[in-house]
Every structure is written in C-alpha cells, then in structure tokens.
Structure 1
Amino acid sequence: VLIPEGKIALGKLSQAMMHGAEVIQIKGNFDDGMRLVQEVARAMPVTIVNSINPFRLQGQKTAAFEIIEALGDAPDYHALPVGNAGNITAHWIGYSESVCQQTAACAFCEGECTFHRQVNATRRPVMLGYQAAGSAPFLRGEMVRRPETVATAIRIGHPMSWQQAWKVKDESGGWFNECTDEEILHTQKLLAQTEGVFCEPASATSLAGVIKDLDAGKIREASTIVCTLTGHGLKDPDTAIAQSTRPITVEATRDAIEQVIGEHLAA
C-alpha cells in the first residue's frame, strides 16, 4: 500500500496495517503516489486496485442497484463527495445499467444490461459531486497542484476518473460544487448529533453540499435525494476529537459530578 507521508488519517492506516499490508510512505501527496504506482505496476507484478482500474468501478456500481432496490426507483438526485471521482462514475454506470441506457463513462458498456431485467427502474438521477474548496479541480476546471483540506479522503488534485466524471455530469444534467472545511466539519457534527451517524469529514461533504444547494434553490423542493457517506468517523478520530468538547476531570464524588451536570443543564 503506497501512501503520502503524514497525509493519511491514522484510522485508515491502522486498518491497512492490521490486515497485513506492506505500507510504503512517500515524501509527496496523493497525486505523486498515483503517478508512482502506475509506473511501478508497469514494471513489477502488482495490480492497481484504485479506481483507475475499470473493474473496480464494475464492483462499485452495484451500490446503485442497492439504492434502487431500497427506494423502488432511482432517486431524483444522488450526491457524493468527489476526490478521485471513481465513486460518482461507478454509481452512474449502475444507474445506467438499471434502465439499460448506454453511458460514455463506462469502459465496458455494450448495451448488455443484466440488472435491468431484475428491477423496475424508470429513470436515472441527477448526479451531484461535491468537493472540498481547497481541493476542487472540477470547480477550477483544471488540476490542483497542492490540494489541502481537512477532508483527507478527497484531498486529491488530479482525479483519475477526470474525464468520466465530466461525462457523468453532462449525461445526468448534474453539477459540481465545493464546500469549505468549516461547512464540512459543521455537517459532520450535525449528522452525529441529529442522526446518530458518525462519518469522516470527506463523507459529510455530500450532505454539506446538498444543504448549500437547497438553500440556493438549485435543488427542487420535495425531491428524493440520496447522500452517500463513504467512510466511518473512526477512520479519522483525530479530526473529530479536535472539534469536540474535551472531557472534564473531577474528583470521584457525587457532588462533583452533579455540579458538572447542573452546569451543563443550565448552559
């Protein structure tokens, strides 16, 4: 596993290490890593399992099938955080297959739509891609040399599915938008406190973007909207701790505890 030094949340790093991966840190960013892993794959017997591999997208597309099965049809809008842009591409491939419509975003699309025969989908959704403001090449219309955001999972300045994602936008009638780190972190906390869903910052970008576009009147009222949350909050616990209330230390007495509770209730 090739990662940029100091740029991967510890929760994700620990997962890879516990599963026995050989982790190699490079002195560079995600985009440097992608360039290097492609060079290495051409010279050594390794397989790239990043979304640059079109077979990965064929696996990811099945998430769209599950959404259709759960809702009875495709939603009006589907919002996703966008970093490498593989996820938004894969979902669009799945939605296209569900209604047996070809898409230029699929490397294998030849009109063969196996899933179409198993569901009653009648439409494809408008696809919405949301990026962090400090790492938003789709908003800039060009690659970002030094992307920076608290949402580490989408801190990508050179998306591998760049061309496919633009096709998804055009075919679906969708758009890209960006959210500040402050908006992302606010939405992460909002999800945890109101819905009981603890996601990592990058995941919260989808809902943060939808809230922003609803307020701006870009999304139709009374629409069915799916927001994909791509990662659990424990993948990046440090960010969550940094924006949360610190534990209060008191003496091991009932009075001390009741005083803290009383102050909290009075606040």
Structure 2
Amino acid sequence: MIRCVVCGEEYDDDEVIYTCKKCGSVLELASLDVDIDKSIFECRKDTLWKYKELIPVNSDHIVTLGEGGTPFCKCDKIGEELGVDLYVKVEGSNPTGSFKDRGMTVGVTKAVELGVDTVGCASTGNTSASLSAYAARAGLRCIVFLPSGKVALGKLAQAMFHGAEVISIDGNFDEALEAMTALALDKYLYLLNSINPYRLEGQKTIGYEILQDLGWESPDRIILPVGNAGNISAIWKGVSEFYDLGFVDSKPMMTGIQAEGACPITNAFRKGTKDVVPVDDPETIATAIRIGAPVSYIKAMNAIYDSNGYSETVTDEEILDAQKYLARKEGIGVEPASAASIAGLRKLREEGVIDKGERVACVVTGHLLKDPNTAIDACTKPVEVSADIDALKNLLTNKE
C-alpha cells in the first residue's frame, strides 16, 4: 500500500503515482506486516535482497547486479582523534559506485512488474549512472536529463556507456527534474528519481545493514550527506522498521549534512520548522548534493525531528579537506559529496553537538572515481625525475 506522508491518503501498490492526488505531497510505502525472526537474514547471500520479506515488490523476477552488503569499516584512527567510536558505511562499493544502486534494483524491478518499457530520471550524476546500468540489465529504454556542465566526468561516462539517451538540460537539477516529472505524469516514461517511493525501499536497507553489522544494535548517530533528501528518510524508515519488529531496542539520531551553497534542509532546521524554502542557483563542488529544492524534504525533516537528530552545513573547503583526511587516514576514497558526512562529524564534534564517546556511523555515498578531476586537482602533481637510480635515491631521501 502506498501512503501520503502528510494527509495519509492511501493508494494501491500497483498504481503508477508519484505524489498524492489529494494534497500533492510525497508518498511512501507502508511497512509490511510480517512475522519473521531476524535469524533468517544471517545465512543468506550478503546483498540487500536478503531482506526480501521487507521489500514490497515481486521478488520472483529481481533485476539485480549484486548490490548491498557494502563494507562497514571501523575507523579507529579518526575515531581516536575525534573521541568517538566511528564506523563508515562504504556505499561506493556498490556495482556502479554509489548507494543509488540500492534504490534502482528495487525501482527497476517494480518497473518490470508494472510492464513499463521506458524509465527515466533527472540527475546530478549518480542516479543516471545507476539507472542506466539497471535499465540495461532489464532491457528497458532509459532517458536521462542532466544539468548542462554540472555533472562529474565519471558519472557522465557511466550513463552514456550503458546506453542511456542522455539529454543535457540548459538549467540546474531542479529544472531538469521538473521537466522529467512532467513527462512521467504524461505517461512518456516511468520516473525513477527518489520521489518514486519504491526507490527508497531499496535505500532503507542501508539502515538494516548498519544495525545488523553492529550485532543488532543501533549506533547513537548516523551521519550522511543530504541532497534531494531521500536517503536520510529511507535510512530512518529502515531503522524504524527493525525497531518496530523488535530486532533492536533503540534508534539513532539522524544527522544530515549539506553543502553551504545548497542547504535548504539545514536552513529550515536552524529555524525549527519543517517549511523548507528552496535555494535558488545552488552551488557546491559536491555535485551529488548540489540541489536547491529537495523533493523529499518533508520526509527528511520528519526523520531529523523524530529522531532528535541534527542538520549542519560544511564549506567546500571543509568537504575537500575531509575527503583527503578519510583517504589518507583510513584508506577510504570517496567523492566530495560523500566526504560531507566526515566534514560534518568533525564540525559537530568540535562544536560539542556530538558527545565524546558516541558511537557514530557515517555513510559515504559514492566512490572516489565518480569525480576524478576534483580528486586530481586537490592533489600535488607527480614529481618528474629520470629513471636513474641515484636520482631516485636522492629524491626518496629528500636530498638535493
């Protein structure tokens, strides 16, 4: 059953619908009424489909590339420096290099179940990269709208290489999404941005995995980047479902980090309201969260407030510094948007929002190679030297 998050209006789960017909708000899937023991997940292959009883699609014809089951790394060096018990959920290890694969395996499976032949999305990069791969896997036509000149090279290459019909929109992401949504409402395609509630049913499994990875315990806090705001609400839905099923006895504080130049969620949080005012012309080096009008804002605000969570901004400089910090301290390479969670952890720990000794799970959402140009630009260029062994010895010992 599909349900409006604001007015509670209900719709059949086979209806192609993106927003509530009664009030226009976003939708979610009602949690499934199941009676299962958590032990059934322990012996299954470590993909998100091990939780198939909790995912509301027909699991007989799954469109999958083996997503989920991503590394959950205990980061002692950074944790000790910051005074927290730190874990990092590495979503860049998914098949196309980002957390979007979790949503697309479910969303495209639903598309096949509904019998559609064309899927589409607007994207800052990762959504298009993921959808194009899963559409190819399912044999569906894929249409992608990208904001002109605003997509990292690695992501653009993926969308094109998997055969998507890529259209560059003269405008920002929010304008591209508005155009794509209009086409979906006119039945030209099945929309698979995060406004589609089935997308978030896949992404909620990040929350499932964190709790299981911690031995069926909840961290004190989950920190993640926020752009279009689907992921924070999806993870909150996942941990809430495990809590309601009695698998864990507590829930984490959901903490969303936004780039300073694209921060409508944080702006609303600072005012103590759920009324989000879009940011015109959002700008940040973290292209994956360069979004000024997040479609899932009400879900995100609910997740933050209901969990006694928090929202904060970080600058581009703090993001790039955190990106290097995570790579060089813990060996985890992430794209800039992902590093927002680490930058936010550092800032909130310094401000005293995060207490010493908290158990914190940071979600890093995309792989370093999603945005190789930014990574290269942030590093010192390689030293050029001849292959002469004495020259090399002098270089390695810092001799002239």
TM-score, with length taken from structure 2? 0.61
- Aligned match of 1:144: 279
> How far 1:262 sits from its partner (Å)?
2.1
RMSD over aligned Cα, in angstroms?
A: 1.4
**For 1:3 and 1:259, how far apart are their aligned partners in 2?**
49
**For 2:167 and 2:212, how far apart are their aligned partners in 1?**
40
> How far 1:139 sits from its partner (Å)?
2.5
Counterpart code for 2:354: I
**For 1:229 and 1:140, how far apart are their aligned partners in 2?**
22
Counterpart code for 2:196: N
Matches for 1:157-236 after TM superposition, within 5 Å: 157-236=292-371
Matches for 1:84-123 after TM superposition, within 5 Å: 84-100=228-244, 116=245, 120-123=247-250
**For 1:208 and 1:181, how far apart are their aligned partners in 2?**
10
> Segments of 4+ in structure 1 off by > 3 A?
none
Bigger helix fraction: 1
- Aligned match of 1:28: 171
Instruction: Map Cα deviations across residues 218-237 of structure 1 (whole Å, 9 max, x no partner).
Output: 11221110000000010000
TM-score, with length taken from structure 1? 0.90
- Aligned match of 2:54: none
Matches for 1:1-80 after TM superposition, within 5 Å: 1-72=144-215, 73-80=217-224
SS in 2 for 1:99: helix
**For 1:151 and 1:258, how far apart are their aligned partners in 2?**
39
Counterpart code for 2:185: R
Equivalenced residues, count: 248
Higher relative contact order (CA 8 A, sep 6+): 1
Identical amino acids, percent of aligned pairs = 48
The gaps in structure 1 that reach 5 residues or longer are 101-115
Instruction: Map Cα deviations across residues 28-73 of structure 1 (whole Å, 9 max, x no partner).
Output: 1111111111011122431111111011111111111111111021
Counterpart code for 1:124: K
> How far 1:99 sits from its partner (Å)?
1.2
Matched, 1:125 2:252: yes
Bigger strand fraction: 2
Counterpart code for 1:34: L
Instruction: Map Cα deviations across residues 99-158 of structure 1 (whole Å, 9 max, x no partner).
Output: 11xxxxxxxxxxxxxxx26xx311110000000001111223321001110100000000
> How far 1:256 sits from its partner (Å)?
2.3
Moved more, 145-154 or 245-254: 245-254
- Aligned match of 1:109: none
Counterpart code for 1:237: P
